[in-house]
Amino acid sequence: DVKVTQSSRYLVKRTGEKVFLECVQDMDHENMFWYRQDPGLGLRLIYFSYDVKMKEKGDIPEGYSVSREKKERFSLILESASTNQTSMYLCASSFPPPGTSGTSTDTQYFGPGTRLTVL
Amino acid sequence: QKEVEQNSGPLSVPEGAIASLNCTYSDRGSQSFFWYRQYSGKSPELIMSIYSNGDKEDGRFTAQLNKASQYVSLLIRDSQPSDSATYLCAVGRGGYNKLIFGAGTRLAVHP
């Protein structure tokens, strides 16, 4: 079974703090993703990575950065947390390398999520 | 127009009935389509994936895809209270297996 883990289920931080959210997958997946989920807005892609040290902006990268130093680990960083970053953060991973979209290995597997509250 | 649209619901069905969940998408070039189930406070879990026009069945679930109409649906037969959850439609886009998600339809199955 694919296992994706996230460092915390619940996190409370103060405005202006630097926040690290970590995600680890154990299936040697190439691709990893960070989403945030807000009521009525669904999942929105923040950043993704298709290889170690490679990253691409998603739809809402402002206020966030990422790091992927090892294949199994993908970190989301909030440089200076703000109240509008209060949300559920979900990490996902998928296997195939670029260019193989359309096969059954497209599937993204999600971690349990981190509910972040910024006060 | 949103890239992936779903009716937010709630869709309420009696136990044992067929639940029909619908999704439309705007990118005619999309090739891969997914249905995820998400229980309250939990992360999404994959139910079905579909890549070709027509129906794909897995147990009580059937996914239907019509690329000409840019429409994908999920049917749940013999609905159970344990099926009560939010169902997310996701569509593949671009490279790197990126997905774009609809906002989800909340399904409530009542005894």
Q: Which two tokens stand for residue A8?
A: 């915390």
C-alpha span between A17 and A34 (Å, rounded): 20
* Distance (Å) from the alpha carbon of A96 to chain B's nearest alpha carbon: 8
Nearest to B103 among A41, A98, A113 (CB): A41
C-alpha span between B89 and B23 (Å, rounded): 6
CB A92 within 8 A of CB A108: yes
Check residue B93 and give its pLDDT: 81
Q: Is the peptide bond before B10 cis (omega within 30 degrees of 0)?
A: yes
Q: What's the rounded mean pLDDT across residues B21-43?
A: 93
Look over chain A and give the mean of its residue pLDDT values, rounded to a whole number.
89
C-alpha span between B69 and B72 (Å, rounded): 9
Which chain B residues have a beta carbon less than 8 Å from that of A48? 96, 98
Strand partners, A115: A10, A88
Residues 6+ apart with CB under 8 A from B58: B47, B48
Instruction: Give A46-78 as a 3 state SS string.
Output: EEEEEECCEEEECCCCCCEEEEEEECCEEEEEE
C-alpha span between B66 and B71 (Å, rounded): 5
Q: What is the pLDDT of residues A105-119, one digit of tens each?
A: 568 899 999 999 999
CB B21 within 8 A of CB B34: no
Q: What is the pLDDT of residues B48-102, one digit of tens each?
A: 999 999 999 999 999 999 999 999 999 999 999 999 999 999 998 876 678 899 9
Least confident of A19-23, A103-107, B26-30, B65-69: A103-107
Q: Which of A2, A46, A88, A106 should one mutate to test binding to chain B, selecting the residue with the greatest count of B CBs within 10 A?
A: A106
Check residue A102 and give its pLDDT: 47
Which residues of B have a CB under 8 Å from any CB of A? 4, 8, 31-32, 34, 42-46, 49, 51, 88, 90, 92, 94-104
- Express as a percent the part of chain A with pLDDT over 70: 89
C-alpha span between B82 and B108 (Å, rounded): 9
Q: Count Cα neighbours of B35 within 13 Å in the Cβ-side half-sphere.
A: 28
* Torsion angle of the four alpha carbons A37, B40, A108, B1, in this order, in degrees rounded to the nearest 10: -50
Residues 6+ apart with CB under 8 A from A35: A43, A44, A45, A46, A58, A89, A90, A91, A92, B101
- Nearest one of A43, A38, A24, A32 to A85, comparing CA atoms: A38
Residue type, A90: L
Check residue B43 and give its pLDDT: 93
